């Protein structure tokens, strides 16, 4: 995954997400959603067809949106983590545009 910048950003966000102060139920959901971004990017990258890749990249985008919603609910929209998600979202959007 060394040359897959979007995955690396997702992995970085996952690590940061584990440090955020959130109520337990939101922290657990954030952990699942953040890991889903990275895992679906990795799985999609390994698929042989563009259609299969896009399906997993879109799932990753859905998980990213879920993370954004959790940070909104947790009142963390001014945090560095929220900015990381914006940057990751831009990379993922471009990835989907190129694959489509």
Q: First vs last Cα of the chain: how many Å apart?
A: 21
- What is the percentage of the chain residues whose pLDDT exceeds 70? 99
pLDDT band with cut points at 50, 70 and 90 for residue 100:
confident
- Residue 15: per-residue pLDDT: 97
What's the pTM value of the predicted model, to 2 decimals? Answer: 0.94
Contact yes or no for 36/15 (Cβ under 8 A): no
Q: CB atoms < 10 A from the CB of 73, how many?
A: 15
* Predicted confidence (pLDDT) per residue in 10-51, tens digit: 999 999 999 999 999 999 999 999 999 999 999 999 999 999
């Amino acid at each position: 995954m060394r040359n897959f910048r979007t995955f690396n950003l997702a992995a970085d966000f996952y690590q940061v997400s584990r440090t955020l102060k959130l109520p337990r139920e939101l922290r657990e959901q954030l952990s699942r959603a953040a890991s889903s971004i990275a895992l679906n990017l990795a799985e999609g990258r390994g698929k042989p067809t563009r259609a299969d890749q896009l399906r997993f990249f879109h799932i990753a985008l859905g998980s990213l949106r879920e993370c954004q919603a959790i940070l909104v609910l947790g009142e963390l929209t001014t945090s560095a983590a929220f900015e990381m998600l914006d940057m990751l979202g831009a990379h993922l959007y471009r990835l989907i545009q190129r694959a489509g």
